[in-house]
Amino acid sequence: MAEQKRKRGTLTKAEVIAAAYAIIDADGVDACSMRALGSKLGVTAMAVYGYVPSREMLLNEVMARFLERVDTRAVRGEQWGETLLRTMHSLRKACVEHPHFAELMNNPCISDGLELYMMRLRAIYLAQGMPEEIAVQLLSIADAFFAGFCLRSFQRVEKGEEPPAPDPNVHGAGDGTRFATESRVPGMLTGHRAPTTRIVRPNERWRRTVKAGYSERSFENGLFVIIEGIRAGAAPDPCAWRTPVQ
């Protein structure tokens, strides 16, 4: 049902972004059409374009607002690897709590909406003394890792499938209810192949392997792999980069 029509000139851009944010958070990216947004705000779809020139720009504005939830503080004395773990766990937690924004983050139209977030992280690493080329490489690898993990992890959520039990021994345990437990590759989990195959029982060992691949523990282990890869690539630099104490 359309909201009550508001008087002309009483709407602000901030209200438009906030309304779009609320729609996406509740119902997903596809639900946030300009018409639906206008209806929620009590204006026409054309009126919305007076505040944001395109839906693509709107989605980027919403993405930028969502990423403000992520912990991108500069913590005094923090070593760069700890910074990566903290910020990536914070991003993952935000996406677990608001899965529609995980979908939006991987939308091909999202670009400018990531810029301020990435620049905040870049500034932290540079202030720690990390060479710029390494900082850019670290951010690129971490972004690619999260994008792939995020896409795969949330596919089963959209189908309403039962989530795996959380691992109490891993950072963020209890928030893993949205993470995937199955593979997209036909036959990879069940062991069902061609009729002539000798495999007649489900491949439970492989099922457990794939399930573990998208757990909280796996996410953190992936971050450790990135950290060690950066260390190896930067050798013989000791990689003793950390945020100044003062």
Residue 198 clears pLDDT 60, i.e. is over it:
no
Most confident of 16-25, 99-108, 185-194: 16-25
Residue 5 clears pLDDT 70, i.e. is over it:
no
Condensed to tens digits (0 to 9), the pLDDT of residues 6-18 reads: 556 679 999 999 9
CB 52 within 8 A of CB 104: no
Condensed to tens digits (0 to 9), the pLDDT of residues 112-170 reads: 999 999 999 999 999 999 999 999 999 999 999 999 888 777 654 444 444 444 445 55
Question: Residue 80, Cβ neighbours under 10 Å: how many?
Answer: 22
Residue 229's SS3 state is: helix
Q: Which phi and psi (to 5°) does residue 90 adopt?
A: -65, -40
The CATH label, of 1.10.10.60, 2.40.50.100, 2.60.40.290, 3.40.1160.10, for the domain at 1-53 is 1.10.10.60
Answer whether 0.85 is exceeded by the pTM: no
Tell me the C-alpha distance between 131 and 119, whole Å.
15
Condensed to tens digits (0 to 9), the pLDDT of residues 75-113 reads: 999 999 999 999 999 999 999 999 999 999 999 999 999
Break the chain into its structural domains and give their ranges: 1-53
Question: Residue 164, Cβ neighbours under 10 Å: how many?
Answer: 19
Tell me the C-alpha distance between 84 and 213, whole Å.
20
Question: Residue 70, Cβ neighbours under 10 Å: how many?
Answer: 20
Virtual CA dihedral for 76, 137, 85, 232, nearest 10 degrees? -100
Q: What is the DSSP string of 51-112?
A: TSS-HHHHHHHHHHHHHTTS-----TT-BHHHHHHHHHHHHHHHHHHSHHHHHHHT-TT-SH
Question: Residue 26, Cβ neighbours under 10 Å: how many?
Answer: 11
Distance of CA 189 to the CA centre of its chain: 26
Condensed to tens digits (0 to 9), the pLDDT of residues 210-225 reads: 666 667 888 999 999 9
Condensed to tens digits (0 to 9), the pLDDT of residues 48-62 reads: 999 999 999 999 999
User: Which of the four pLDDT bands, split at 50, 70 and 90, describes residue 179?
Assistant: very low
Q: What b/e string do you get for 202-236 counting C-beta neighbours within 10 Å, with b at 16 or more?
A: ebeeebeebbebbbbbbbbebbeebbeebeeebee
